[in-house]
Homo-oligomer: A and B are copies of this chain.
């Protein structure tokens, strides 16, 4: 018998979204070398690591270079110094979390994907639509049945249990539920009351909520940072967090996953199953990186990351204020680095055909509006967004802009958008 590959990979739809965005942007740039193109499509940070982090990593490098302070294999769950810092951070939201619940990871993405290993194949999975493509792809790879919770202006892009689309009209209850708040791509944030509804639903049905809180540092006011701020979550939820957006760790790789001792299925503690998975297939985050992450939670570290987060928030506000002035519907922008806006129907503009000439939208009159708007915005204003259609069915006619550019570029992009829509 020859080795057989995982046939479920054949069911993956080639995710061309970001590659296609990059391709069209590069083509525009090559054809217009004299125009400054502004990229607001990528979800990657641009501000450097805070000085406390780099200093901590340099000190840790020195430690690793001396026999007396060298460290070999670390604990699978991460070092206690960092787990305890995370524990204190949760206390700040009023959440008392036991240390055994906290696992240090190399990022929310890895853990969100690998976490599925500890569940049986025949679980049914619910993902919101539009959605971070990783939730869908990781479950397709495992051959799991996927349901969707549809979003729209009507529910403010915050789908609730009643928005679950059941196949062939049957009422279906998912076993595993993905929630992301603040959401990627929409930037919408669930209230405590909304989360309570999901928690009650999960507890009533034995479902598990995989709560992606990668953008929690952007939350302000009374909105929840953590699902564990809401009663009942300890028996139905796992939370995935990241230093990526919080402290600029996209290229440094660190996050944490929180699995309360009270989360039990089939008579087993989920945190015990996860520890078994991790101790068998993982060897932890580099010591040096864990020291860098620890520094984020110091008083000085919190000041330095606040400066970066405020910088991105100021950009988000510039975008949101512009859309308010233009009367364009959007979500996000206030508690999120993402702005999710309804595309104005630029196909009615007198110059539409002329502007998009030579783009894929010109060749395909049936292209989704979000791609048409993308092309028009790129050709006329040299601004790059991400078309909503790429994030799911409910994403059509929307565009995602990110706040990770410089302030100057964000301002200029909004001036160009305003001018483009002719309301200036």
Contact = CB atoms under 8 A, between A and B. Distances in A.
A120 B205 contact: no
B1 A273 contact: no
Contact of A6 (B117, B134, B288, B292): B117
A252 B64 contact: yes
Contact of A281 (B113, B268, B286): B113
Contacts of A3: 119, 123, 175-176, 206-208, 265
A204 to B, nearest CB: 10
Q: How many identical subunits does the complex contain?
A: 2
A250 interface: yes
A7 interface: yes
Interface stretch (A50-58, A225-233, A318-326): A50-58
A2 to B, nearest CB: 2
Contacts of A123: 1, 3-4
Contacts of A70: 46-49, 248, 251
A47 B65 contact: no
Contacts of A44: 72-73
A287 interface: yes
Interface centre among A6, A46, A207 (most CB of B within 10 A): A6
Interface in A113-129: 113-114, 117-120, 122-124
Interface in A30-44: 44
Interface residues of A, number: 79
A289 B54 CA distance: 13
Contacts of A252: 64, 286-288
A407 interface: no
Interface of A: 1-7, 9, 12, 44-51, 53-54, 57-58, 61-62, 64-67, 70-74, 106-107, 109-110, 113-114, 117-120, 122-124, 134, 137-138, 141, 173, 175-176, 205-208, 248, 250-253, 265-266, 268, 270, 273, 276-277, 280-289, 292
10 contacts: A1-B175, A2-B206, A3-B176, A4-B119, A48-B65, A72-B251, A106-B106, A106-B283, A251-B287, A252-B288
